[in-house]
Amino acid sequence: MSTYDPDNIFAKILRGELPAHKVYEDDDILAFMDIFPLSEGHTLVIPKKPSRNLLDIDPDVLCTLMRGVQKVARAVVKALNADGFQLRQYNEAAAGQEVFHTHFHIIPVREGQRPGPRPQEMADQEQLAAVAARIRAAF
């Protein structure tokens, strides 16, 4: 397994080198909109401390991260009036991990709906900003 790359896209977002539609931030985690959403409100939650995935994250950081994931998931479900959500987390390329910084996907769903395939085009930035504002208001 490879080591953590401090130049991955999420590390750049954490350093403010790349933009993101943030929905929640505290001393330990950052949550922001996925730019290739599988459903409206698809949100990513990442730890601020570097780790590649579940295999190398510090257990205490993981506990803090999961408390944040739960908090953000509640706001996403409330803001999107979702009937439920999927929580996804991938480890290494063979399992589908594309960004090698530990992260969780919160994907809201409604009855009878399944998240779609990964879009080929980035989502509309104004739409992402509007959904992010709805989620922020739900905390």
User: Phi, psi at residue 45, to the nearest 5°?
Assistant: -125, 125
Q: Residue 7's closest CA among 42, 52, 46, 72?
A: 52
Domain spanning 9-137: which superfamily?
HIT-like (3.30.428.10)
Query: What sign has the CA pseudo-torsion 139, 135, 116, 105?
Result: negative
By annotation, the residues acting in catalysis are: 103
- CA pair distance 42, 105, nearest whole angstrom: 7
84-88 and 43-47 as β-strands: parallel, antiparallel, unpaired?
unpaired
- CA pair distance 128, 139, nearest whole angstrom: 17
Q: pLDDT (tens digit, 0 to 9) for every residue of the chain, 139 residues total?
A: 689 999 999 999 999 999 999 999 999 999 999 999 999 999 999 999 999 999 999 999 999 999 999 999 999 999 999 999 999 999 999 999 999 999 999 999 999 988 888 899 999 999 999 999 999 999 9
